[in-house]
A and B are shown apart, each in its own frame.
Chain A
């Protein structure tokens, strides 16, 4: 079984500051992928970034980067230079690379950017 834990139900961050959203995971799989999705108030689910368990480099996508620490089983999302439009729910998810392809999500972190 796989599990994602997001311990920050809500965060408030000043505009232009960097923010780190925590995600720890539990899995017995050797090969897996970690995903972050953004869900704004409109309700859509927007894919942000992916990290494979065997990737040696931390993933980056524009202002998003993933601080992947495999030994600690953590995959924190870092947003640099936050913007008002970053206010949303953020979900971390894990998926096995073999067999079942379902995503297992955490409970999410609600990020609010303060102007």
Chain B
């Protein structure tokens, strides 16, 4: 079956512009996570959803970052007034059911964001 998909795969934008990154999770997956990965580092948690409810947004760096999952499926991560320090790989992951003891997160290919 289809895995987690993300679009666009690459995004180059100018400082100050807004960007919207999309994640399409595996069908039927309840939980959806956003991570950010800097070059040479491990992914860092940003936020996650169970169905349409945002359960934790403690990893969002500041109020320029927001995320939504209005129908409990596709999610959008929005960065307003982008800055050069926002440049990174943004990864989405989904899992069958949050809270289960063994709950593998399946990662998407990521969106490489470059802010000029």
What is the interface of chain A, defined by CB distance below 8 A to chain B?
A: 4, 31, 33, 35, 37, 43-45, 47, 50, 52, 91, 93, 95, 97-98, 100-108
> Which B residues have a C-beta under 8 Å from some C-beta of A?
31, 33, 35, 40-45, 48, 55-56, 59, 89, 91, 93, 95, 98-99, 101-107, 109-110
Q: Is the CB of B31 within 8 A of A45?
A: no
Q: Is B109 a contact of A44 with CB atoms below 8 Å?
A: yes
Q: Which B residues are in CB contact (< 8 Å) with A91?
A: 42-43
The reply to whether A103 and B45 contact each other, CB–CB distance below 8 Å, is yes
Partner of A45, one of B45, B56, B107: B107
A-B contact count (CB 8 A): 62
Determine whether the beta carbon of B45 is less than 8 Å from that of A50: no
In the docked arrangement, what's the CA distance between A98 and B44, Å?
19
The answer to whether B110 and A33 touch across the interface, beta carbons within 8 angstroms, is no
The 3 closest A-B pairs by CB, nearest first: A105-B42, A45-B107, A102-B45
CB distance from A15 to the nearest CB of B (A): 25
Question: Within the complex, which residue of A31, A52, A103, A107 is in contact with B105, where a contact is CB–CB below 8 Å?
Answer: A103
| Contact between chains at B45 and A104 (CB < 8 Å) | yes
Q: A43-B89, A43-B109, A108-B41 are in contact. Are A52 and B102 (CB under 8 A)?
A: yes
Q: Are A33 and B45 in contact (CB under 8 A)?
A: no
Q: Which residues of A contact B42 (CB under 8 A)?
A: 4, 91, 93, 105-108
Known: A43-B110, A45-B107, A100-B56. A105 touches B43 (CB 8 A): yes
Q: How far is the CA of A51 from the CA of B55 in the complex (A)?
A: 25
* B45 partner residues in chain A, CB cutoff 8 A: 102-104
Most chain B CB within a 10 A radius of its CB, from A31, A33, A44, A103:
A103
Quick one: closest B residue to A51, CB to CB?
Answer: B102
How far is B109's CA from A104's CA once the two chains are assembled, in angstroms? 19
- CB <8 Å contact, B109 and A47: no
Q: Which residue of B lies closest to A47 (CB)?
A: B104
The interface residues of chain A lying within 8 Å CB-to-CB of B35 are: 103
**Closest Cβ neighbor of B41 among chain A residues:** A107
